[in-house]
Amino acid sequence: MKNLVQILNRIDGRGYKAYKDLQGKKFNESNISVRLTHVQGDPFATPSVAEIIVKNSFPERFFDKRYKRIALEDFLIRSVYKKSASLSFNGGTGHSGKIFIPKPSQAVLQRSSIKITDDNIIVRLFVGLPANGRRINGKNALRLFENIFTLAGQTIFLKNYLGKAVEDIITLSEEQHFIREKLGEMGLVSFIADGSILPRQSGVDERKMERGAVPFVSPDSLAVEITLPDGKVIRGMGIKKGITLIAGGGYHGKTTLLEAIHKGIYNHIRGDGREYVITDKSAIKVRSEDGRSIANVDISNFLQNLPQIKDTEHFSTKDASGSTSMAAAISEAIEMKSKLLLFDEDTCATNFMIRDARMQRLVKNEPIIPLIDRLRDLYNDFGISSVLVIGGAGDYLDVCDTVIVMEHYRPFEQTERAKEIAKEIPSNRDFTAIPNMEPVRERFLDAYKFLSSVRKDKVRLRGKSILQIDKTEINLAFVEEFVESGQFLASGMALLRIKNENKTNSVYSIIKSLEECIQKNGVECLFSGTVYPTLSEVRRFEIASALNRIFGLPVK
């Protein structure tokens, strides 16, 4: 660190911009290197970015597969996150002395804050270069760098972790991956292991409920056993492909089960309670979203003969109703090749979900073809399964393959009983006038016009869910697949990639190529310059959600 001390002595007390002398230079201590890849221009500005580089000391078997590497990265960055808080200090004005990264969620995700290669481990941090007013505080700057070296030395070397802590993380990732790969082979879309703790502490705290939570136990009729690679057998409830209905009284766990299934698209950390809740990676939750924009989407399978609107194959609006937003969401999910849709009656538009026999007889000119009349087509024609929480619309018993009733957070299969009830109390709905479901029209994005009003390639998150690209705002409050702020930002960065490549192609192929880039090169591939520790991995579905909510999207 001799060269660092020399530079800090030289610039101590000078104007803040003199910190630029540190940018790009590598400072070494023992077997740790630190360099500033971005230097803030002001103590109140977005903090600087420090990149720590150390030799990878972990055995290759811990990172020879992508899923294991991500699990190891996730484990290490959580250690960095916890330790950084104790090494931050009040070093002066603004962010002076701060060391931090975005807080990880309960999900195991690839992030731009860390990258493991065969040779090195790279950790990226935000650091606040110390100042008094707008004058450099060299003494505190040296302390900051010393703390960065301490942080690296205590968190990202194998020697820091005694016993089988790391082995356990890698083993868990292997088991989760194995179960996920087994789903299709077993004809399942989701698996919920016995003993899982599904309730969360609150609506804003994703950690498991510590007291009073009822461990999940599968009914024998739906139980499956999976033999893991080490011979261990894990038992749980298998959700089969097809149409599954989850019923039950209020506050008995219907939505809790659906939410666990939904979040099973991601692996979860040990101790989360949902480590062995594994769901098809292409699952999407569909809900009503009043006021969202829709751009040239084929919703003709759900809405036809709208008054004053002749063409629902090319439907656009800047202010969708609940029913049209759901129709668009399903069509967009088909476009992105989802194989599992999730619905919670509480967050869906009633007129889109069901029209009973009485309303069929009363209203003859109804343009909406309700979901109940399309579930079987979605599965038979498109291979898309559905899981629905239904508490009040008994007509759905006619179309379901499996019925699960939740009582005091315990699942009970009631498929046969549901069929008996459906026969005893027929719905008398008319199914004869339902037209066949047609393939959804492919859309093409005119990238030359896409985000043409964006002058600055600047992405930020306003509040918890408003993605802002320059002055363009995208409201993602109702997209429930996002679990970290970094996923919102990654979706925005992906949209900038589309804008800057200026290619006209199908919406699916453009977004699929971005997903493949992330999977192959890491989410940091979305940066064109300095890599910031801000992004978390997203699927094509989250990118598409952001794209589809841009007002005036130029698609044809």
- CA angle 259/265/271 to nearest 5° reads 75
CA distance 131 to 91: 7
- The model's pTM: 0.96
CB-based contacts of 491, cutoff 8 Å, min separation 6? 467, 476, 538, 542, 543, 545, 546
CA distance 251 to 271: 24
- Contact 48/145 with Cβ under 8 angstroms? no
Return the domain boundaries, the chain. 2-160, 283-424, 444-548
- Please write down the HEC assignment for all residues of 25-60: CEEEECCEEEEEEECCCCCCCCCEEEEEEEECCCCH
**Alpha carbon separation from 49 to 37, 80, 154, 514 (Å, rounded):** 6, 15, 20, 25
pLDDT tens-digit profile, the chain (556 residues): 789 999 999 999 999 999 999 999 999 998 999 999 999 999 999 999 999 999 999 999 999 999 999 999 999 999 999 999 999 999 999 999 999 999 999 999 999 999 999 999 999 999 999 999 999 999 999 999 999 999 999 999 999 998 799 999 999 999 999 999 999 999 999 999 999 999 999 988 999 999 999 999 999 999 999 999 999 999 999 999 999 999 999 999 999 999 999 999 999 999 999 999 999 999 999 999 999 999 999 999 999 988 877 689 999 999 999 999 999 999 999 999 999 999 999 999 999 999 999 999 999 888 999 999 999 999 999 999 999 999 999 999 999 999 999 999 999 999 999 999 999 999 999 876 789 999 999 999 988 889 888 888 999 999 999 999 999 999 999 999 999 999 999 999 999 999 887 677 899 999 999 999 999 999 999 999 999 999 999 999 999 999 999 998 999 8
Q: H-type helices in 156-277, by residue range?
A: 165-185, 254-263
Token readout for 91 is 């070093």
Token readout for 548 is 């589809």
Token readout for 53 is 């580089």
Neighbours of 364 (CB within 10 A): 6
Strands (E), 85-211: 99-100, 107-108, 114-116, 120-127, 131-132, 135-136, 188-193, 200-202, 205-208
- Contact 359/393 with Cβ under 8 angstroms? no
